[in-house]
Each structure stands twice: as structure tokens, then as C-alpha cells.
């Protein structure tokens, strides 16, 4: 099973600032990595797939990069609606599909 | 508009059973693989099960293998999760999610509480 880790667990950012979230896989997942955003009481929302492709309707301030075992989600200028929990997920080697533990982005 | 609507959650005693349903609309259900994913209170996301478009390929997480059964009825645009021998640790919000690999669409979830 591929284990996903994310850092930091919590990221405190001021609106308008840049946020950089990290995700690491225990073995290579190539570019088969997705990022999701989840707000309290809501279902996860797909942001990025293929490590760097934005899903339909996702603003350009969200960008993904990386391959192999190291990945990054960058939010270029945080808006109020971006404060949420972000999960990475690998789909290269499954079952099982595995998620990281999440990074909470909160207001500084 | 793609919509996924879970139902069937509720309070059940340890050792009991529940059957969750996921009603799909806004897309050709029979053309898409489906998954069940859960989230325990205050915790992260846990993938549980996958079913292919025809149901001939099914996978389970080790945590539910032998206790949960995924199925689908393409004529009814519905996905199911039969959950038996429920444990306290199965308490969670259960989501159905569309697509193989990464999930583009998710339902709003149904809460399952296992408690005596």
C-alpha cells in the first residue's frame, strides 16, 4: 500500500498571501496524483488531477506540480473561500486508493 | 448537472447491518465506475470500495473486506453498499464518488453511526 503524507498539518496564511502545501508518496506514483478541497460540512471537491491539471471550473490561482514521490499544491493568492482542508490522493498503484491526512489552511 | 445523492444512513448497533444507496443523475451512470469513500468524525478520507461499469471488477479496502458489499443497478442509476457486522469504528460519513482513479464528482454523504 502506498502511504501518503502531507505537510504541514496546519498552515496559517493571511488573505492575499501565497500558500504552498506538500504531499509525499512512500513510493513513486508517477503523475497519478489528485488534490481535493474540503470545507466543513461539505463533500470533497476535485481541484487537480494528473498532478498538475486543473479540474473544470477551478480558478487559475490553484496550481499543482511534482511527479514521482514529491508534489506541491500552490494557491497563489488566498481568497476567503480557500480556507479549507486539502487532501492529496494517489491513483497510480491501487487498490487501495490512498489519501494523505490533509493540510488545514486557516486564517492567520 | 451531475448529481449523486446518498441515503440509508442512520444509527445502528454494533454487529448490525445497513444498506446505503447512491442515486445518480445528470450523466450516463452505466458508463462510469464508482467508489465509496468514508470520513470518520474529524478525520480524513478513507477509500472503501470500487466497482466497474458492469460490476465485473470490484475492489475493497482491507478494513471492510468480507463485511461490506458494493453493487450497482445500471437500470436504476443506483449504487449500493451493503454493510454487515458493523463496528464502532465504522461510524463515519459515507460518500459515493464517480470515476476510476480520481473522483470528479461526490455526493453530499450520509452519516452512519454505530453505537449501542
- State pLDDT tens for residues B43-84: 999 999 999 999 999 999 999 999 999 999 999 999 999 999
Calpha distance A66→B105 (Å, rounded): 24
Q: Is A20 helix (H, G, I), strand (E, B) or coil?
A: strand
Chain A from 75 to 104: CB within 8 A of any B CB: 87, 89, 91, 94-102
Calpha distance B36→B30 (Å, rounded): 16
pLDDT for A108 equals 87
pLDDT for B52 equals 98
Calpha distance B71→A70 (Å, rounded): 35
User: Mean per-residue pLDDT for A58-76?
Assistant: 98
User: Mean per-residue pLDDT for A34-48?
Assistant: 97
CB B89 within 8 Å of CB B73: no
Cβ contact, residue pair A95, B59, below 8 Å:
yes
B86: closest CA among B26, B12, B27, B5?
B12
CB A108 within 8 Å of CB B46: no
Can you read off the three cell numbers belonging to residue B27?
450523466
Contacts B44 to A, Cβ<8 Å: 87, 99-102
Calpha distance A86→A39 (Å, rounded): 9
pLDDT for B29 equals 98
Those residues whose C-beta lies under 8 Å from the C-beta of residue B65, and which sit 6 or more positions away, are none
State pLDDT tens for residues A77-87: 999 999 999 99
Instruction: Kindly identify which residue of chain B lies nearest to residue A42, measuring between CA atoms.
Output: B108
CB B90 within 8 Å of CB B14: no
When scoring B1, B44, B59, B94 by the number of chain A Cβ atoms within 10 A, the one with the most, hence best to mutate, is B44
Q: Is A46 helix (H, G, I), strand (E, B) or coil?
A: strand
- Whether residue B105 has pLDDT greater than 90: yes
Q: Beta strand B10-12 with B110-114: parallel, antiparallel or unpaired?
A: parallel
User: Mean per-residue pLDDT for A39-64?
Assistant: 97
Q: Tell me the nearest-neighbour CA distance from B109 into chain A, angstroms.
A: 7
Contacts A46 to B, Cβ<8 Å: 102-105
Calpha distance A101→A86 (Å, rounded): 9
Task: Give the number of A-B residue pairs with CB atoms closer than 8 Å.
Answer: 55
User: Mean per-residue pLDDT for A12-16?
Assistant: 95
User: Measured on CA atoms in the order A83, A43, A90, A46, is the torsion positive or negative?
Assistant: negative
Amino acid at each position: 500500500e502506498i502511504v501518503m503524507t502531507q505537510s504541514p498539518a496546519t498552515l496559517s496564511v493571511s488573505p492575499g498571501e501565497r500558500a504552498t502545501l506538500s504531499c509525499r508518496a512512500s513510493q513513486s506514483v508517477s503523475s497519478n496524483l489528485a488534490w481535493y478541497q474540503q470545507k466543513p460540512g461539505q463533500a470533497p471537491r476535485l481541484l487537480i488531477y494528473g498532478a498538475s491539471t486543473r479540474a473544470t471550473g477551478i480558478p487559475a490561482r490553484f496550481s499543482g506540480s511534482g511527479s514521482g514521490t514529491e508534489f506541491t499544491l500552490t494557491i497563489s493568492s488566498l481568497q476567503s473561500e480557500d480556507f479549507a482542508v486539502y487532501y492529496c490522493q494517489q491513483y497510480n498503484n491501487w487498490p487501495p486508493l490512498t489519501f494523505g491526512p490533509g493540510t488545514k489552511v486557516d486564517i492567520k | 448537472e451531475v448529481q449523486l445523492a446518498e441515503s440509508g444512513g442512520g444509527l445502528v448497533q454494533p454487529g448490525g447491518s445497513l444498506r446505503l444507496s447512491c442515486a445518480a443523475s445528470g450523466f450516463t451512470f452505466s458508463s462510469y465506475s464508482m467508489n465509496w469513500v468514508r470520513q470518520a468524525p474529524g478525520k480524513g478520507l478513507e477509500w472503501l470500495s470500487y466497482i466497474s461499469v458492469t460490476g465485473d471488477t470490484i475492489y475493497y479496502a482491507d478494513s471492510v473486506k468480507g463485511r461490506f458489499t458494493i453493487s450497482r443497478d445500471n437500470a436504476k442509476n443506483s449504487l449500493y453498499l451493503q454493510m454487515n457486522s458493523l463496528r464502532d469504528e465504522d461510524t463515519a460519513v459515507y460518500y459515493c464518488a464517480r470515476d476510476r482513479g480520481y473522483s470528479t464528482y461526490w455526493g453530499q454523504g450520509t452519516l452512519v453511526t454505530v453505537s449501542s
